[in-house]
Structure 1
Amino acid sequence: MSSNRPTEVPDELVAALLPPLDPPPVLDVDTLLAWFASLDPLRRGLRAPSTWRAYAVDLTHFGEWCTLQGRDPLPAAPETVADYLSAQVESFSIATLQRRLAAIAVAHGLLGVPSPTDTEHVGLVWRGLRRVHGPGRRRRRVDALETRGLVDLLAPLEDTVMDHRDRALLVLGFAGALRRSELSALDVTDVVAEPERLLVTVRANGSRDERVVELPRGHRLETCPVRSWRRWTEVARLTEGPAFRRMTKGGRSLRPERLGDRGVAEVVKRRTLDAGLDPSLFSGHSLRAGFVTAATRAGVPGVSIARQTGHRSAAALAACVREDRPFPGNPAAHVGL
């Protein structure tokens, strides 16, 4: 009996049938999404839109690392990819790095050049990393930045463009319990400012899912989401495009490119260092973990916290809590011990 299902076309065959693309001028999320959107329907239809967006995020991170290392990302040498994996394995899961390998392979296929991911050198390094860092290993948990820690990070900030950007990023990241990828993906039009609140549309990278989080006006000027956001957009004269953008070397002026998720983490680390803290103990996730921990200590119900964070399970939400001191209302205190 014949089937009406179309036969899946392998990437290799598509690459052989269709002409290669010119490389994108830069590797950032917006440029890569436009590059993928220019694909012919056959190649674009091989993957879901959410997968193309995930690849754009992955390639942006790879490109930022290559820039810092003075290496070419497209096309990339096998040694570059192998060193990238080795450098990132302590920060990202094996599953995330596997997706980044796929993104690198697809990008090289679109250029019509051999992928470094297919070489023996990268294969040997990848197998070794999976053996040592694969499922079952205990990952290092970064410290949480609770409200007091956030205040400490904001205290040294002054009136420069970079300071206003970093203040808005840190405050919105904390109050919205946003992942660093979600902060990076924010556009100016995703944030609706009202007198007493911000309504922020959050899109998870690699997913069509979105949620709207409400950030109320704060009691203190330095930690107020509404005033931090308004001041940042006024100083930077932002009306559209990426909400958080890169700065020129030395932070003298604003660039049009989106601040990548790695850039978000670097803001957190730099500001913890300025506040006299050990930056090795913190990362972009520290804001999200800090919000969940502070809200849990305040007795906020888990369902309300999850509505803000977008967590879909109690176990995932609980993993964000840092239990370095007793929580109020601990059930063990109410069972007659």
Structure 2
Amino acid sequence: MSAGGLPSVVETGRTMAHAFAGEAARERFARMVEDGTPPNTARAYDSDRAYFRSWFEISGFGEPELPIRPDILVRFVVDHSEGLEPQIDAALVAAGVKAKPGMQRISTVSRRMAAIATWHRRAGYPSPLAGGPVQEAMRVARKAAARRGFRPRNKKAAVRETLQTLLANKIAPSSADVRDDAMLLFAFASGGRRRSEVAEARIELLEEVDGDYVYHLGITKTEQEGSDRKVPIAGPAAVALRAWLSLVGCSEGPIFRSIDRHGRIGTRHLNGRAVARVVQRRAAAAGLDPKAFGGHSLRSGFVTEAGRQGKNLFEAMALSGHRSVQTVSRYHQAGTALSNEAARLL
């Protein structure tokens, strides 16, 4: 690993490159960083850095070296907010780092800039988004996008009635349906688990209590050092989970596993996209727009349903694991909107 992969020393703002002069020391640090970074995050960062490198080189700036000049980063923001030059756009598509020509959403630009900022911080440099012209360029770009009609494409919340509809519309009776029922109910009943948490859930973290289950969360997106939090899998969710586990027939390993075309249950866990595809398949079978739903629908649906039923916001957060009241309150308030006494003044 080059010095570009070393961490920052927060106390002094200097790099620790001098402490990692040997190849063996750099390799040890590289392994620690790799093991300490969630796989999905690592893949996203790699993809965004590959895109930025291609744009950098195709735009004629040569080979990128840290720290990236602020004026080049501002140019990156402008290019992707106002539209790339046609020849650069075509070259990025030809390089395989861009799916198709045309404008990109401001959310995509923001994510790529966040990856670039992380790249800098890990190399011991200040984040280019921490004040200065790059941060200002992103602020203006977001405002411009909003004035041009950009709205975040949030997936539709799967509230209680929607979830019941998804459960009622099976593609065909099979072991996959038993698994998918258990998966949908597990995700919702446990507090709206993220799709990665559902996909990576393990049997040995389950504890049976009076006919229901308690699940020990362990590592989550916001608790990368592990969590001792427990969430319930109760009622219909426990019944569905028990039916699936009886088919799995194991006392350890992934809860939700791959199933081949012959109906044989495998040993590998699913990935997060598979969870989203289950939601979308069930939505399509129910006559709903599958593009409107995804893995996040179960998470937002749990919090929205809690609001609809008048449940305390902080009780919902205790199960969902949201840390930001601002984030979770959007869903909770959506659920309480029609029950607001001031909503029916007429």
- Per the TM superposition, whether the score is higher than 0.5 is yes
Distance 1:95 1:240 in 2: 40
Question: The residue matched to 2:215 in structure 1 has which SS?
Answer: strand
**121, 124, 148: which one pairs with 2:161?**
148
Aligned to 1:233: 245
Please show how residues 39-118 of structure 1 align to structure 2 within 5 Å.
40-45=27-32, 47=33, 49-51=35-37, 53-55=39-41, 58=44, 79-83=95-99, 94=109, 96=111
Q: 1:290 aligns with which of 284, 288, 301?
A: 301
1:205 and 2:221 equivalent?
Answer: yes
CA-CA distance at 1:276 after TM superposition: 1.6
Equivalent position amino acid for 1:312 in 2: R
Structure 2 CA distance for aligned equivalents of residues 186 and 332 of structure 1: 42
Q: Aligned AA for 1:41?
A: R
1:244 maps to what in 2?
256
Q: Paired residue for 2:268? A: 257
2:54 equivalent in structure 1: none
Tell me the alpha carbon deviations over residues 284-310 of structure 1, each in whole angstroms, 9 at most, x when there is no partner. 111111111111111111110000111
Distance of 2:175 and 2:241 partners within structure 1: 12
What is the deviation of 1:270? 0.8
Indicate if the aligned counterparts of 1:168 and 1:228 stay in contact, CA closer than 8 A: yes
3-state DSSP of counterpart to 2:311: coil
The count of aligned residue pairs is: 266
For the residues of structure 2 that align with 1:84 and 1:213, how far apart are their CA atoms?
44
Amino acid at match of 2:162: G
After superposition, residues 116-155 of structure 1 pair within 5 angstroms as 137-155=150-168
Q: CA deviation at 1:9?
A: 3.8
Query: What CA distance in whole angstroms lies between the structure 1 residues aligned with 2:29 and 2:185?
Result: 43
Amino acid at match of 2:179: R
* Percent pairwise identity: 25
Aligned equivalents of 1:133, 1:211: Cα separation in 2: 40
Q: Deviations over 1:106-157 (max 9, x none)?
A: xxxxxxxxxxxxxxxxxxxxxxxxx799986531122111111111111133
For each residue in 1:203-247, what CA deviation from the matched residue of structure 2 results, as whole angstroms up to 9, or x when unmatched? 3137224353432532xxxxx111111111111223222222223
Partner of residue 215, structure 1: 232
1:179 aligns with 2:166: no
- Letter in structure 2 aligned against 1:153: L
Say whether the 8 Å CA contact 1:144–1:322 is kept in structure 2.
Answer: no
Equivalent residue of 2:275, what SS? helix
Q: Do 1:147 and 1:290's aligned partners in 2 also have CA atoms closer than 8 Å? A: yes
Task: Give me the whole-angstrom Cα distance separating, in 2, the residues matched to 1:251 and 1:295.
Answer: 39
Q: Distance in 2 between matches of 1:5 and 1:236?
A: 52
In 2, the alpha carbon distance for the partners of 1:159 and 1:91 equals 42
Question: TM-score, normalised to structure 2's length?
Answer: 0.62
Q: Deviations over 1:157-204 (max 9, x none)?
A: 365221111111100111121111211221111222223432112231
Distance 1:175 1:90 in 2: 33
Are the aligned partners of 1:60 and 1:260 in contact in 2 as well (CA < 8 Å)? no
Following the alignment from structure 2 to structure 1, what is the Cα–Cα distance between the partners of residues 306 and 195?
Answer: 19
Corresponding position of 1:8: 16
Q: Kindly provide the amino acid, as one letter, of the partner of residue 237 in structure 2.
A: P
Report the TM-score when normalising by structure 1: 0.63
User: 3-state SS of the aligned residue for 2:251?
Assistant: coil
Choose the corresponding residue for 2:181, options 167, 174, 182.
167
* Gap regions ≥5 residues in structure 1: 19-38, 63-76, 105-130, 219-223
- Cα-Cα RMSD: 4.5
Residue 101 of structure 1: how far off its partner (Å) = 8.6
